[in-house]
Homo-oligomer: A and B are copies of this chain.
């Protein structure tokens, strides 16, 4: 007869650093792997990636997987440099743009220092500060989703500013001209996180030429339909990139993702066509949500942020989930809440809207 265990497994581990023990950890959007949901919650692109991307990955799978990848991702940087009109040594690659954000935070922000972010915005920035045992200096967006001028002139404790642009959850864009106007006031680097930049009317890559305090980050997850591949990059002046390279893991991008990402950037025709489809669906989604009475924030991204005056956002989220539609419910302390709906395919959006109408009794 076996004895029953008398001790419970411990839940704490006192040997971890105190600030780590206190952390909750970042909670990513729900990722049901079963495929029974219509997923409109984590801003994935509804379309499969380009055929040449899949082909490049399959070729790479048969070619020297036993050997380490190029630690500098030169093949990718050459193609991306051409697309972005910079030189390859202005680019550093990462295992998703989250890896790039981690590298940036570790390069610039030490324990007891701070990073600045807007609110509401991408909550991962706060987690990155917590991991560094650093503080988060939060500046609220104005009611019209503009930022006060002092956003760009933080106190000396702040060593890095994060600006998600387009922003999540709002989908709004701070104009390049507006950012450019404040470049002279910056006392620390400003990261313009353009994870959604391809969906917007303009971007800030050009500003990298004008100031070595500007660092632009990009992701292939959204616009290139490659969330499953994990590939992102940053653009900055070479002496900035040189510091970041010291912090990254040597082989942070694998052979398959380098091959896939290089093929993706090579196919700008696919990108244009896909962006066109998503922007058309976005326009239709915004219009229909407005017709249903939602307050809709006009979006420059591949998602739409909205609230309904007659029904709580959390309830809408829950009732959609019961009907196997996943959207993202987001609540920000002292600010408010809303639902963020990814611009899926036309049929996904139609299915979501039909259920939404029934939920609202329309």
Asked if A255 contacts B229 (CB within 8 A), the reply is yes
CA distance A330 to B17 in the complex (A): 34
Contacts of A188 in B (CB 8 A): 15
Asked if A85 lies at the interface with its beta carbon under 8 angstroms from chain B, I say: no
List A residues 218-233 near B (Cβ within 8 Å): 221, 225-230
0/1 per residue, A232-260, Cβ < 8 Å to B?
00000111101101110111111111001
Known: A61-B61, A247-B20. A111 touches B110 (CB 8 A): yes
Is the CB–CB distance between A62 and B54 below 8 Å? yes
Q: How far is the CA of A252 from the CA of B71 in the complex (A)?
A: 17
B20 touches A227 (CB 8 A): no
Describe A's contact surface by its main secondary structure: loop
B33 touches A70 (CB 8 A): yes
Residues on the B chain within 8 Å of A26, using CB: 246, 250
Residue pair B66, A247 in contact (C-beta under 8 Å): no
Return chain B residues, CB-CB under 8 Å to A251: 28, 96, 98, 227, 230
**When the two chains form the complex, which single residue of B28, B44, B106, B133 contacts A110, counting CB atoms closer than 8 Å?**
B133
Within 8 A of B (CB), among A130-155: 131, 133
* Interfacial residues of chain A within 1-55, with CB under 8 A of chain B in the complex: 9-13, 15-17, 20-21, 23-26, 28, 31, 33, 39, 42, 44-49, 53-54
Give every chain B residue within 8 A of A68 (Cβ-Cβ): 28, 31, 42, 44, 221, 227-228
Q: A65-B228, A159-B15 are in contact. Are A250 and B46 (CB under 8 A)?
A: no
A61 touching B66 in the complex, CB below 8 Å, given contacts A9-B238, A255-B229: no
Q: Looking at the assembled complex, report how far the CB atom of A17 sits from the nearest CB atom of chain B, in whole angstroms.
A: 5
A168 at interface by CB-CB < 8 Å: no
Q: Which residues of B contact A277 (CB under 8 A)?
A: none
In the complex, what's the smallest C-beta–C-beta distance from A267 to chain B, in angstroms? 14
* A96 contacts across to B, CB distance below 8 A: 249, 251-252
A69 at the interface (CB under 8 A from B): yes
Partner among B15, B25, B53, B64 whose Cβ is within 8 Å of the Cβ of A189: B15
B contact residues around A48 at 8 Å (CB): 64-66
Partner of A25, one of B21, B24, B246, B255: B246
Bound-state Cα–Cα, A53 to B242, Å: 36
Q: B239 touching A15 by the CB < 8 A rule?
A: no
Residues of B within 8 A of A33 (CB): 70, 74
Task: Check B95–A243 contact: CB distance below 8 A.
Answer: no
What B residues does A44 contact at CB under 8 A?
Answer: 66-68
In Å, the complex CA distance between A18 and B308 comes to 49
B-side contacts of A245, CB under 8 Å: 25
Contacts of A182 in B (CB 8 A): none
Q: A198 in the interface, Cβ–Cβ < 8 Å?
A: no
Question: With an 8 A cutoff between CB atoms, is A217 at the interface?
Answer: no
A31-B238 contact in complex given A13-B243, A102-B249, A107-B16, C-beta closer than 8 Å? no
Give me the 5 closest cross-chain CB pairs, A-B, nearest first: A25-B246, A228-B255, A66-B225, A230-B254, A16-B243
**10 residue pairs bridging A and B, Cβ less than 8 Å apart:** A13-B212, A13-B239, A13-B242, A17-B159, A42-B68, A58-B58, A65-B226, A95-B249, A96-B252, A227-B251
